[in-house]
Structure 1
Amino acid sequence: MGIQFATSQTASIIVLLVTLIMAALVLRRRYRSRQALLRRVSELEALSAAGRAIVSAELDLMQLCRLIADEAGKVIDNRTFQIGLFEDSLYEILFWRIEGEERETPQTFDLRQNSGIVGWVRQSRQPLLVHDFEREMNTLPARPRYVSDTPPRSAIFIPLLSGEDVIGIMAAQSRQPRHFSEEDLRRLTILANQAAAAIAHTRTFEQAQKRAAQLQLVGQIGRQVNGQQDLEGIFTQAVWLTRETFGFHPVNIFAVDEITGEVVIRASTRPDLMEHQLRLQPGQGLIGSAVSQRETIVCNNTTKDPRFVEQVEAQGVALKLPAQAEIVIPLMVDEEVLGVLDVQSPKLGVFGATEKLVLEALGAEIAIAIDKARQLARQREQAWITTAQLQVAEAVGHTDDLDIIATTLVRLTPMLVGVSFCALLVWDEETAVYRSAALYGADQELAEAFHQSHLAIGDWHPLDAVHVSHLPLTTTQPPPWTVNLQTAGEDLLPQWRLWPIISKDEILGIIVTEPLEETAVSANSQTLERRLELLQNILQQAGYAIERARLRLAQQEEAWVNTVLLQTAEAVNSLIDLNEILDTLIRLVPMLVGVESALILIWDAEKQHFRAGSGYGLSAMGQGLIESLTISQDEFLKITPQSGDFLTPNAAYYAIELTPWLQKVMGTAVVHAFPLNARGQLVGVMLVGSNSENGRTFSNRRLHILNGIAHQAATAVVNHQLYQEAAERDRLEQELHVAQEIQASLIPPGSPHIPHLEIASYWQAARQVGGDFYDFLPLPDGKWGIVVADVADKGVPAALFMALSRTILRAVAFSRQNPAEVLTRANQIIDQDAQSDLFVTLVYAIWDPHTATLTYANAGHNPPLLLRQNGHVELLKGTGMALGVLPDVKITQKTLCLHPNDTLILYTDGVTEAVNANYDEFGLFRLQNTVQSVQKQPATEIIQAIMTAVRQHAADTPQADDITLVVIKHRPTESAPNPHNQ
């Protein structure tokens, strides 16, 4: 009993102890939970306080980043800590602490080549917790970019998110592995979200302030720059004010050379660059690229841009401060690039969006100032040029004396243009030489040699080139009048410049000077351009004056020529016969021009040779010889073109060396040939004899007369040809009309009365006559033959072959009752009698009204369409070859029974092959559908429905082939006459 009590007491004690232990454990767990909760609350309060401190702070960006780092130190270990922001491809660290020691900031890194973990976090927008770099290196989404002897072992990288953008990175690192936990990541992420909002706000505010301040400075710079009136002052002030205001160095301004197009340095804050007179081609380096691309180029890391390297090599200057960043802004006004503003910096990534905006605004101000200065300079130059032009116009505009005009020109040109030598050569069209007119800037010996010289084409090759091209030319070859001088021509001037005087596309003279470039060594391109403009005006005024001086004589000559040509036209119009007209014209040539012989040859285009027309000054034997022979183009041996190509509608006239027999006929070895052109075609040639060896016998007046006579002769020949062509057309039209009437008479005037059949027919030729036909042949025993045929051609040949085929078919059919035999025999006769390559396809059917049967044979024709009363459609396909192709053909025949109200459609390919504008044929399918839709209608209405459908399908497309239709309906009770053909 005692033992049991003791045991029970022990058990109670054990239970009590267990209960106490469990209670203690519960109390301990509750205590720990409370402590964790208190720590969590404390942590949240700390984060909240940090967030409020960050958000409410009114600091600049650098101070804000330091505050964020300090607040981060309250929630995690931040002895190694970093805050960086993104700007395009650059990463700028604004706060950087390594093992408690702060580094100098900001520091900028280019992420284009190797962005590392920072780039991955930016792209993925995800935080990254690295417990141990050494163990996790191969599994990381990106490798660290840094190279260090004591790299971190663990780290946290958190993106700073502002809206949809990652504006930067917050990172904490440690040299101890597994130093950061998920709790650290969570706490720092909360802080990073609050920090990102504050950074974005501060950044935006600072950028706005900076932009406003810089734009205000840009306005001040613009006002100072615009106060300058000369370009050099604008360039110099612009670069130095930019450097002083924004602190960038070097600052350069390049201008575009108006002559070469090169980009030339005009001002710089680095004097050594100005000493080397740097020149770049468009597209060369960053500066040249900005000019060629016409847009701002920003390079925030020049070491990564090959264009910067190319630019440095072109400079050829040892850069004391190599630029790390550069922005090049084209200076443009009205889409014209005037130059570039080149701003450089020894720091990476300094040219952000704000700097770009501000410097572009500055560039616009500089461009406007440059343009204003250029316009002012142009106005001054234009005023001077206008005054000089008025002086020239007044000097040469009040006289018609060519000598006074020439003297005035050679004296005014050196004064206004700045040359020391000037000579004027005037073109004499009558003698085809350049006559010396006036000279300035030469000694007596040179002046005498000049005034004694007359230069023909070929005497001075540079003059020849200018005479032909009408373009200025510079040459080192001295003119012929300097050849015999004691002082050689090359010693007088090293180069000679020839300026053509042009009026109405005709050269009137040439002014000879030294090149303007030689007289303006120190002048800029604008000065040279001004002199060229002034000289062009002098040349223009000279052209007007010389033209005016010659106008009086030209008007007199023109009046005389017009009178002569009018008399010639009146003489031609009073005659009708071509030979009389040509005789009259050819007799006028010697009277008006003074040549000894002339001959008109008429071109036979079909036979490709000339035949003789009228002649004058030919011997009796020569006249008979020329009339009995034809002349080919090969008879003309040597041709010297005076204008255009030989004997073409665009030619003027030619000097031609004749063959010996033609020389005897014309009495001269050389003649001038004037093509007779009309309606863009060569219709003949007028040969005018000449005793001149050089072929320069005709002045403009004589040429006008000869060309006028040639035109009258050409008109007479063409009118004669047109008359003959019209007569031939009338004859052909009459013949076609007769043929049409004959062919129409061969077509049945109406459909005959055939027992038990209702018949309608339609025939329309594509031309006036055609090759389609149809026929109805009464046969013995009350039978009827029905024919629809198509000759494989159109027009008159088809019509003739159609008449032959119809005649043969009728002759054979009346003696035979078998369609196959009829076609076989007809083919034999056609093959024997026809001499052409034509053939005919046809369907020949014999209707037996007693048995209501139709026996037919098809010789290569379109298959007839049989529409049964029940709507079933049958094609009666061909049973043989077309007639006229081979001498022996095998043709079979078939017999079918027509039931009441059955419809048979016979047609030619003009129906099914009718096309529309898209070349889509009407086709058998449309024909079948059309017939089925009007099956119960009379034969006449069926034809009307078919032709309506064909016309609607073809629309405005002209009919290309003959059309023939025969519609047959079986009417057992039919006794009345059938409708007539359409």
Structure 2
Amino acid sequence: MDKHVLKGDSRQRLALLSEIARSVNSSLDLDEVLNLAIDKVLEITGAERGFLMLRDTGSDELVFRVARNIERETIQAPEFQVSRGILAQVAQEGRPLLTSNAQKDQRLMGRGSVQELGLRSVLCVPLQARDRSIGLIYVDNPYQEGIFSEEDLELISSLAHQAAVAIENARLYQEVARSAEEMAQLYDTSLDIVQELDLPKVLEAILDRAAKLLKARSANLRIYDPKQDELIPLVPYKQPEKIARVHLKPGEGVSGQAFASGEPVVVDDYDTWEGRSAQYAKGVFARSMAVPLKRGAQAIGVLAVDRNREDLPFNQDDVRLLSLFANQAAVAIDNARLYETARETSEQLSQLYETSLDITRQLDLPRVLERIIQRAVGLVQGRFGQIYLYDEVRQELRSSVTYNLPDSIWGFVLKPGEGLTGKILLSRKPLIVTDYDAWMGRFPKVPPGIVYHAAGVPVEHGDHVLGIFWVGRSREDPPFTEQDIQLMTLFANQAAVAIANAQLYEESQQRGKELARLYETSLDVTSQLDLSQVLRAIVRRTAEIVQAREGEVVVYDPQERVIRAFLSMGLAEAGIPSTIHEVGKPPEGLDGLVITTGKPVRVEDYDSWPQRIEGAPKGAIGPAIGVPIIHQNQILGCLSLTRVLGEPAFTDQDERRLTLFANQAAVAIANAQQYQELQRLYLETKEKERMEQELRMAYAIQTSLLPEGCPVVPGWEVAAHWHPAREISGDFYDFIPLDNGKIGILIGDVSDKGVPAALFMALARSLLWAAVSEGLAPAQVMAKANQQILANARSGMFVTALCGFLDPATHSMTCSNAGHPPPIVLRAESLHAESLQIEGMALGVVGQVDFQESSFAFGPGDCVLLYTDGITEAQDPQGREFGQERLVAFLRENQASSAEQLVHGLIAAVQDFVGEAAQYDDFTLIALQCRGRRP
């Protein structure tokens, strides 16, 4: 531009300023505006170089934004060294500075940078907008004096004013654009999250973007697990492991309360917040915010972020932003879950189709392993490989198959943590090693120079590690990558299926042999019915099924909770006493625990087992196993085996075999016990039938001893009844014709019941009958019978009896009583009841008893009742006795009845009284009704 224009009339300058204003205001891009402004200044002033500085909105410091030379080339540091003093003066005072020779300018003489830089012509004007300094424009020429004039200063100041407005507009536009960009980023983030269906990536994106958008220090995303009723952390963001993996209950902490309430929760000071979780130490969190992840109206998880204490608190805009993000995240999680399931299924089916054609068509395990390692090596372009199978019982990795490897590397047995495969086993994660010989974890038995690059993956089926396979490359080959690991891991899934199938086939073959052996064993065991033979067969066959030194079977009584039978094999050889289990006592030790819990128990070292039986000598037993013998949900006993100390522990397979055999043993024992019970019941039935037959015979004999009927006595009605409480009775009565027309009457009751009482009754009745037949008086009859009973009977029983001689001619009866209930007389004239009291001791108690006798007279209508105490002592269901009062009341009510009616009526009255109550005493009574006139 011609500098004469600057010295022209005002119209030219205005036109120039208008043109410059259009130029700098034609763009809203801040960098473009700054470059355009400094270029125009250089063009107008003819300066050698120029700079434009702006204040940083954060630090309020001046920062170089543009540095250009007259050729419009950007100047790089350190070429744009300037006087900081001049810049500071203009910025502080807000006034422009113009000097034609800075070296001689008195205003700048004290500034060392001016002299040091050799500055000559300098022009510096401030940039001001809205009465605020936003920066400055600086141009100079270090070589010539007088380059800039007052017209330059005036024009550049005007240009600076226009540039300041343009810069502010560009800044405002930049802020608006930044806000729009933030929203666009949130929108793009939501799109990314929704479109990304790989769940791990979704979760990582959620936390990464949420934390960045909100300038959070850390974040965590938790998903609710309804089974555990906990919020489970899935992906932490910049959180220590100990903090990131904490599980929270609904309502616990910020995340728990947001989940439980379904609403956002904001906490400014977590340490003083009353809802803080006790799982976190103080100082872990400062400012926290959590919003629920929702599927519809239901919360499925929580998204939480936190800031440092010195950061700004979370506000409602933050809550709104995180809530919007959480809503998108919830949808994305659902989509990713669905996609993950579909993708995994699709890939597995695809890989299964390609690999199963080869490896799964085989069921022979060695052949399957060969094909697996061959396919694995080819899959990742390896040179050789090896597969190890894991023995869970021994916790060992055994080299099973190698491919393209020398024999020196075959046959290794590794413990967890040894070598490449051992470390993979411990971590259950793939591992890549470059330069195996120099690797710190190398297995020392592997010869050097064979393996350089190696990559291995676990072969897992469910929760179990079936084995490890690794593939190797030579030094000249490229190292393994994560993509190789992904391919190997995917293939390992298919290999796991093939190995599991082959092992299952091998196991089924073995199980078939076991079942055949079990079938033979069950035929042997269940063919026996004698319990001792069954137990011997069980112990003998157990050793054929599971290798052991000592075996034993315990038969248990669940009702009495004691051992009913015990049989062992190898106790003596093991140095174990035969009294280790005692019949009739509760089971102890291994057998006791198995029987108590009803579950199998395995012990690796019996000596160190806390529940060992003290009777077992130390060092006699190593591993031990016991399984319950259960039949129809009832524990019948225990089957147990032991091995010598140092021998391998019993395995799951041993337990399964022993359990299967125990099921067969349970049937055999139950059959033998049932057979024993049937034998016992048969013998008891036969004995019962014999006893019943004998009782029937005894009843017939006893009945034959009683009178066939009552005698006919002139002027008297006589009736009697005999009712045993059981099959036979201890009661008796009899009528004996005497001289002169008299009738001897006997009634008695033996102290005991059942067969002994019946026998004693026959003895007593015979002795009394014989004494009466001799013509002795009643008292003499009692005395003689008492002596004979004491002399001949040593049973300890006694009998109460009453002997009476009825004289029809005189309507009188002479009686003697031996401890029997006295007869009751109901007088017809007065209806007065009286007991015919006669003292006397029961027969068979003591000798030399002075029995008494008395005579009683009766009038017409008088009723005499002789009875045993079974009548008065009969009890109703409440335990109340019939008693003498009810007996007398019955006689009064039925005074006009005949003797026969009295007997039957009284028996009916007693039976009505007792109802369903069981009676244990016999009923016997004799009724005498006087119908004649007094002589």
Q: So what's the TM-score if we normalise by structure 1?
A: 0.39
The structure having more radius of gyration, on CA atoms, is 2
